[in-house]
Amino acid sequence: MDYGSACPVDARVIETMQPFMETAGNPSSIISWGLAAKKALEDAREKVAALIGVDNPREVVFTGGATESNNIAILSGAGSLKDKGNHIIVSAIEHVSILNPCKELMKHGFEVSIIPVNDQGVVDIEGIEKAITDKTVLISVMYANGEIGTIQSIRKIGELAVQNKKMFHVDATAACGKIPVDVTADHIDILTVSSNDMAGPQGAGALYIKRGIKLDPVMFGGGQERGVRSGTENIAGIAGMGKAAEISMNDMKENAIYTSGLRDKLLDGLASKVSDCYITGSRTDRLPNHASVRFSYIEGESITLNLDMMGVAAASGSACTSHTLKASHVLIALGLKHEEAHGSVVLTLSRSNTEEDVDYIIDVLPGIVERLRMMSPLTP
């Protein structure tokens, strides 16, 4: 139950990747192997473009993953407009691959406004509007949060960006493949897409860059991927990402109906069987496969380790920050105390999960929580 941070690669994706793992040509080459690689590259570009509502596949640039895409969007997006202003707006619950590049830009004269969220993780749109100045060059708000599952009103924020003529970036890592994403309808200028979050391989990602927007390169070399991201493309990974995008688009509606049923059963079951158990994030505006809860008086890491011993994969926060001992900045932004935020567990589902899986969690997790609370000095 950790499909959010450790999603297994779909067997159909592996089959698509296999030929290019054995004999991958260079897509910049004009010989037959290179032409075959070029075709696979452009086929994948078309499939990713279709997933996010892009008419022109050339507006999709492949990267080494969501973190790289986010870094390019922030560093190059704001950097390319530095002659027009030095102000960036982000939400308080953005991924660290957004927040840390913003910190880096602050060392070079940029100012960053961090917009708060409410106790369900919904960003304050009026706060964004009030923060916009004539020096603002970029607004970045994630489509959905991978730790708490909350989906933002991206279209409203996009309309606000259009009205004020500001560049709008959206990190759709957790959303793409789970819920419909349409860059045109949502007025998005730059969009981050992740491969491994939709059953594709790790080490592949994409960046939608609206026609007319020119980003300065952050990597220099042969000029591949519209000059934004030089370097020979990872054809096997990109082909796999394209197949994962195609599968996600075709199965999205059916998957959402199925996983949301399991999600609701899981959330209701845990809340009814464990005292001082609280759902984190929005109950209504939530990713269909996402269940996140927190338990008072104990730590999420201890819970996930105990679940692991019971044969269950789970997470206690973002996989990119779980090696730190700090409380999640996302949960702190909801207004939780540090000791409350440490008790978080994230369970993410897929079509591979069953009713029996959910029943098993509801059966074993209360006992784990009880044992840990007996050992915790925080338990009343």
- How many angstroms separate the CA atoms of 366 and 368, rounded? 5
* C-alpha to C-alpha distances, 208 to 27, 169, 181, nearest whole angstrom: 20, 9, 12
- How many angstroms separate the CA atoms of 280 and 292, rounded? 6
**Is 346 within 8 Å of 315 (Cβ atoms)?**
yes
* C-alpha to C-alpha distances, 130 to 113, 121, 124, 306, nearest whole angstrom: 10, 19, 10, 46
Q: Measured at the alpha carbon of residue 68, what is the angle toward residues 288 and 81, in degrees to the nearest 5? A: 105
Q: How far is CA 248 from the centre of its chain?
A: 15
Q: Is 176 labeled as catalytic in the residue annotation? A: no
Tokens 């997470």, residue?
315
Q: Which of 7, 102, 277, 320 is catalytic?
A: 320
Strand runs (DSSP E) across 183-236, as ranges?
190-194, 205-209
DSSP bridge partners of 192: 171, 207
**Is 241 within 8 Å of 46 (Cβ atoms)?**
no
**Helical residues (DSSP H) of 61-210, grouped into ranges:** 66-71, 77-79, 96-106, 125-131, 154-163
Four-point Cα dihedral 243, 248, 251, 257, nearest 10: 160
Interstrand relation of 277-279 and 290-295 (parallel, antiparallel or unpaired): antiparallel
- How many angstroms separate the CA atoms of 336 and 331, rounded? 6
Active-site amino acid positions: 320
